[in-house]
Amino acid sequence: MELTFRQLHPLFAAEARGVDLRSVEDRATLEAIRTGMDQYAVLVFRDQPLADDEQLRFATRFDGTLHAKTGAAVLSRNRFGNEALTDISNLDEGGALLKADDRRRMYALGNRLWHTDASFQDPPGRYSMLSAKVVPPVAADTEFADMRAAYDALDGETRAMLEGLRVHHSIAYSRQVLGFEFSPEEQERLKGAVHPLVRRNPRSGRRSLYLASHASHVVDWPVPEGRLLLRELTDHAVRPEFVYRHRWRVGDLVIWDNLATMHRGQRFDDVKHRRELRRVTTLDIESAASI
């Protein structure tokens, strides 16, 4: 079968069909998926029941280097014994629902803020691949915002002002916003990273706003002024016309480009309903080298 795309939103996001991600190996198809990512920024693959090792292998074939230094790793050991496999669930190591006041749950609630994955590291996250294992009977969707369209919609004066600005990203910051505190030792391991506010995809040439809940301040600007700018740009970028909402089905594998999008999880009753997904994220080696 041939790989085809059906667009899901007027600006971005498409459903990809005609490929089995467990076995896809040929360069032409992998390249066609990458080209699809350059165009749509979010690709939804239905009915892809990948085992954990198959998901890791596909991610490696697709983009090389995997992100394995997650923020969660400073809190507790990964229940799969592999830090490259991020546990996007509300379960403890025994498979039971996390209690309301469990520290791991409070940390994970940060995913409900608009963010990009691993922007608090250098190199940051590039492609995230999230595989749905258990989906609750209530809506527990993930929203994506197209940061290229958001950039394109800025006026020329604002675009000129943003050129060359750099932003400090820190997970300690994004968690503190919600009232979650890391210990001094944990903070020491989570120092953050600096990235340009505007990023350009070297393959498509499109620019995007590189924002996230982790974006703490603009380097060389007074902190309040930078925070106000980041807040203003975020409010602009998550306007409804830039947002696609994904309703999960078991077996979905969704890939997004962290340089071209932001995302957030939707609130649901997570102390009552199980929700279990696994994420693998690759590192942005390519543009880290080209900045």
Q: Which residues bind Mn ion (CB under 5 A)?
A: 117
Residue 128 sits in the site that holds ligand OGA (CB under 6 A): yes
Residue 130 sits in the site that holds ligand OGA (CB under 6 A): yes
User: Left if phi > 0, otherwise alpha if psi is -120 to 50, otherwise beta: which for 255?
Assistant: beta
Among 12, 32, 279, 282, binds ligand OGA (CB under 6 A): 279
**Per-residue contact flags (x/-) with ligand OGA for residues 140 to 179, judged by CB under 6 A:** --x-------------------------------------
Cα-based distances in Å from 226 to 110, 168, 179, 197, 218: 21, 10, 21, 11, 5
Residue 117 sits in the site that holds ligand OGA (CB under 6 A): yes
Q: What is the dihedral of CA 59, 62, 208, 187, to 10 degrees?
A: 30
Do the beta carbons of residue 50 and residue 59 sit within 8 Å? Answer: no
Closest CB to Mn ion among residues 19, 121: 121
- Partner interacting with residue 88 (select from ligand OGA, Mn ion, none; CB below 5-8 Å by kind): ligand OGA
**Per-residue contact flags (x/-) with ligand OGA for residues 74 to 93, judged by CB under 6 A:** --------------x-----
Residue 124 sits in the site that holds ligand OGA (CB under 6 A): no
Closest by CA to 71, choosing from 114, 115, 107, is: 107
- Partner interacting with residue 265 (select from Mn ion, ligand OGA, none; CB below 5-8 Å by kind): ligand OGA
The residue at minimum Cβ distance from ligand OGA is 265
Size of the site for ligand OGA (CB under 6 A): 10
Residue 70 sits in the site that holds ligand OGA (CB under 6 A): no
Helix orientation angle between 52-63 and 27-40, rounded to the nearest 10 degrees: 80
**Per-residue contact flags (x/-) with ligand OGA for residues 256 to 275, judged by CB under 6 A:** -------x-x----------
Neighbours of 96 (CB within 10 A): 10
Closest CB to ligand OGA among residues 54, 141: 141
Nearest distance from residue 205's CB to ligand OGA, in Å? Answer: 27
Closest by CA to 11, choosing from 239, 281, 252, is: 239
Closest CB to Mn ion among residues 117, 143: 117
Cβ neighbours of residue 168 under 8 Å, at least 6 residues apart?
192, 193, 194, 215, 216, 217, 218, 219
Query: How many whole angstroms separate alpha carbon 104 and alpha carbon 21?
Result: 31
Continuous segment of H or E residues that includes residue 227:
helix 223-237
In the complex, the residues that contact ligand OGA under the rule CB under 6 A are 88, 111, 117, 128, 130, 142, 263, 265, 277, 279
